[in-house]
Amino acid sequence: MATRYPATTRYSQVAIAFHWTIAALVVFNIAVGLGHDPIPALRALMPAHKAVGITVLALTVLRVAWRLAHRPPPLPAHLPSWERGAAHATHATLYLLLLLLPLSGWAMVSGPQGRRPLTWFGAADLPYLPVTSPTAERAAALHGLFGWVMLALVLLHVGAALRHHLLLRDGVLARMLPGAR
C-alpha cells in the first residue's frame, strides 16, 4: 500500500510526468553521448540522440513554464540550510544543463564543416543554427563537458534521493514518485 503524503508536499502529476519523462530521455542521451566513442555500435543511435536532445529541449521549456506558473512544494522543514542550498543549486544547474546540452549539440551539428543530417525521429527536418565553424567547434567542446557535468549531477541527484528514501526515510523521494500518495 502506498504511503500517503499531504498534497501540498507532493509535486503535481504534470510536474512528475515532466520529471520522469525528461529523466528517462536524459539517461538514454548520456549513455549514447558518452558511450558512442568507446562503443562504436552506439554510433548508429546518434540520430536518435539528436532527436531526443531536441525533445528534451522542448520539454524543458514547457517544464520551466509549468514551474513558473505552478510553484513546487516547499522542501521539508527538517532539512538543514546547507542541504536546502545544495538542492536549489543542483536543481538550477540541472535545468540550465537541460537547456544548454541540446543547444550546444544543435550548434555543434550546424557548423558548415561538420554539418550532419538533423531530423526529429525522421518525421521532420530541423533547421541548422546560423553558426560559424569556430562557434560549432566551441559548441562541440562545451557539449562534451556539459555531458560529463550532467552525468555527475544526475548521479548526485539520484544519490541524494536514495539517501532520503533509504536512510532518512523522510518522504522526499515520494514527493516525486508517480502513484505515491
Q: Where are the domains of the chain?
A: 13-176
Query: Which residue would you say has higher pLDDT here, 134 or 76?
Result: 134
Assigned C-alpha cell, 108: 555543434
pTM of the entire structure?
0.91
The fraction of the chain above a pLDDT of 70, given in percent, is 94
Fold (topology level) of 13-176:
Fumarate Reductase Cytochrome B subunit (1.20.950)
Between CA 18 and CA 13 the distance in angstroms is 9
Assign 35 a pLDDT band (cuts: 50, 70, 90): very high
pLDDT at 6: 52
Assign 1 a pLDDT band (cuts: 50, 70, 90): very low
Tens digits of residue pLDDT in 116-142: 788 999 999 999 999 999 999 999 999
To which residue does cell 548521479 refer?
Answer: 155
Assign 179 a pLDDT band (cuts: 50, 70, 90): confident
Average pLDDT for residues 45-59, to the nearest whole number? 97
pLDDT at 26: 99
Q: How far is CA 27 from the centre of its chain?
A: 8
Assign 2 a pLDDT band (cuts: 50, 70, 90): very low
